[in-house]
Amino acid sequence: MSNDSYEAETTAKAAASGNAATEGFLQRTKKANIVADVARTNRIATRLVKALNDVAREENVTYDEYNVFKAWLIKMGTDGEWPLFLDVWLEHTIEENHNADKQGSKGTIEGPYYVPNAPEHPASSTIEMRPDEPGTPLRFFGQVTAVGGAPVKNAKIELWHADDLGFYSQFAPGLPEWNLRGTFIADNEGNFEINTIQPAPYQIPTDGACGDLIAAAGWHAWRPAHLHLKVSGAGHQLITTQLYFVGDTHLADDVAGAVKPELILDPTKLDGGKAEVRYDFVLDPA
Ligand code: MBD
Ligand code: FE
């Protein structure tokens, strides 16, 4: 790859990726699905407002602190970082609620960088990447079955992940549109084999409102390296998940709280610096 595109990636700005995530979210969200249940809205909104006031009272929050908070919330909007903030610090609880009754594979959060309709490929394929894509080549393969063990014929595996510098295509400058994003159609037995590269540990943008909070509170911005997946099949429920890598420094302190023991891969190292790992997905009935 050219030095130009490296430079473009490393000059990625929080507001650019934040606003791209905000735009994508607004385009995909079906506002018609919102159910105006006044009693439920009343209960949840009342509890949220009370929680804020409890903290303000118990911590004796001053006007100076209140104004810093107000300015920070405004910045969150102008940086487009509401999706990032919510997906990092709240989505894991929503995901637990959503998948509580599932028997099949563990899910975890989607995060802010999913893009639908990535280019489709057959069961055994290489994901779109640059000719000299940096990183350890990874052969990721497995089978998609139903809870009872029956293969899910032609299951759909959507995979997206960061590159070796921790950047996502369409959210950092200088990357091809579908770099390290693809939709793979498993064979008649639900088998798939995807060639990609191992992503790098990932730091959420530090130069926007979320980064301001992290710095001010003395937290860190790291997520362990991860593959994002959506796996689905006819007659089955879609599962959104992520897979991590054994030994990663940030498995135990993911800023997004989205690691589960069932989601940690232990790839086999092969000759020539390559790695391979099997992961089978189990889908719940629709
Ligand atoms: C990511 O790549 C991610 O997966 C999450 C959850 C938040 C920010 C960036
Ligand atoms: Fe991610």
Q: 161 CB under 6 A from ligand 1?
A: no
- Provide the residue-wise pLDDT of the chain in tens; the chain has 286 residues: 444 555 667 677 888 888 888 888 888 886 656 667 899 999 999 999 999 999 999 999 999 999 999 999 999 999 999 999 999 999 999 999 999 999 999 999 999 999 999 999 999 999 999 999 999 999 999 999 999 999 999 999 999 999 999 999 999 999 999 999 999 999 999 999 999 999 988 899 999 999 999 999 999 999 999 999 999 999 999 999 999 999 999 999 999 999 999 999 999 999 889 999 999 999 999 9
Per-residue DSSP letter, 232? E
Residue 85, ligand 1, Cβ within 6 A: no
In angstroms, what is the span from residue 38 Cα to ligand 1's centroid? Answer: 32
Q: Which ligand is nearest to the CA of 91?
A: 1
* Token code pair at residue 96: 């637990």
- Which helix (H) or strand (E) is 120 found in, with range? strand 120-121
Q: Specify the CATH number of the domain 96-283.
A: 2.60.130.10
How much is the pLDDT for 282?
98
Task: Say if CB 197 and CB 225 are below 8 A apart.
Answer: no
Q: What share of the chain is helix, strand, coil (3-state, %, to 5)?
A: 35, 20, 45
Q: Read off φ and ψ for residue 195, nearest 5 degrees.
A: -100, 125
What's the confidence (pLDDT) of residue 16?
Answer: 85
Distance from the alpha carbon of residue 260 to the mean position of ligand 1, in angstroms: 15
Ligand that lies nearest to the alpha carbon of residue 108, given by its number in the listed order: 1
Give the pLDDT confidence score for residue 145 in this predicted structure.
98
With helix as H, strand as E and coil as C, how does 243-263 read? Answer: EEECCCCCCCCCCCCCCCHHH
